[in-house]
Amino acid sequence: MERNWHKLERSFYLRDDVLAIARELVGKLLVTEFQGVISTGRIIETEAYNGIIDKASHAYGGKRTPRTSTMYMEGGHGYVYLCYGIHHLFNIVTNIKDIPHAILIRAIEPVDGLELMQFRTSKKITDHSLGSGPGNVSKALGIETLHDGINLCGDTLYIAEDGYNTEGIHIIASPRIGVDYAGVDALLPYRFFIRDHPRVSAKKTTRKFLCS
DNA sequence: CGACCGATCGTCT
DNA sequence: GACGATCGGTCGA
C-alpha cells in the first residue's frame, strides 16, 4: 500500500547518541498496524534512558533480568513493560546489541485513526488527555506488553517520517518525570518535548520547570 | 491550586 | 512482600 510516509530504517536506531535520537524522534510518527487497522500519532514528548550509567534506567549498573533483557536487544526494537500493574509503557531500544539504551515515548498527538483511539481509550470526546502521558500513548495506539521485543523494522509497529517540518518548532529539554529515585541523575535534561504543545504530559511539573 | 489516594499486577528481593 | 519511568479522581484551603 502506498503511503505518504516512510518507515525509519535500522541505521536510525543503531547510533550511539541516545539523546540526539530522543530529540529527533519528536515530530516523527508512531504507527501501529494490527491486522490492517492503522493508527498513527505524532510524537510530542520523549525521554532518553542512557544505559548502565543512568540511575534512572532499568538497566542501571548492567542489571539484566528477564524483563530488562529486551533493552539489550539491537536498536530498533520495542521495550514494553507494565507499570503500576495498569499501564503499558512503550520504549524504543537504541544502540547496538548489548548496550541497553532506550527512549520512552511520553506523548503523541493523534494523526490517523482518531475514532479507533477514542474507542481504545473509552473516550466519548477527544480532549488533550488522549495520547498525553506514556500510559495513554500505549492505550491510544493499542500497544501492550505482548509487543515487548517487537521489531520496529517490521510492519506492525514502527516509526515513520512524513513531511512534518521540525525547523519551526521549539523543542525543550527538561529533567525526566517520575524518576526521583535516581538521585542526581533525575536532574539530567533527558526529556524532550514541543514547547506549549497541549499534549505535553505532567503539566504541573512542566509549568514549574518552564517558569524557573 | 496542592496534597493525597486507589487501582492493580508483574517483577525482583 | 514491596514497589513502581502512571493516571484520574477527590478533598480541603
Cα–Cα distance for residue pair A62/A133, rounded to 1 Å = 27
pLDDT reported for residue A1: 55
Distance between start and end Cα atoms, chain A:
48
**Which nucleotides on strand C sit less than 7 A from a protein beta carbon?**
4-8
Burial of A79 (0-12, 13-18, 19+ CB in 10 A): buried
Q: Is the CB of A88 within 7 Å of strand C?
A: no
Task: Tell me if the pTM is above 0.95.
Answer: yes
- How confident is the model over A69-74, as a mean pLDDT? 98
- Contact call for residues A57 and A190 (beta carbons, < 8 A): no
Residue nearest to nucleotide B6 (CA to C1'): A84
pLDDT reported for residue A123: 82
Span A94-142, pLDDT tens digits: 999 999 999 999 999 999 999 999 999 998 777 999 999 999 999 999 9
The one-letter amino acid at A145: T
- Compute, in degrees rounded to 10, the torsion defined by CA atoms A167, A168, A172, A176: -70
Quick one: DSSP state of residue A14?
S
Q: Which residue has the higher pLDDT, A126 or A196?
A: A196
Residue nearest to nucleotide B7 (CA to C1'): A86
- Closest nucleotide to A58: CA versus each C1': C5
Percent of chain A with pLDDT over 70: 99
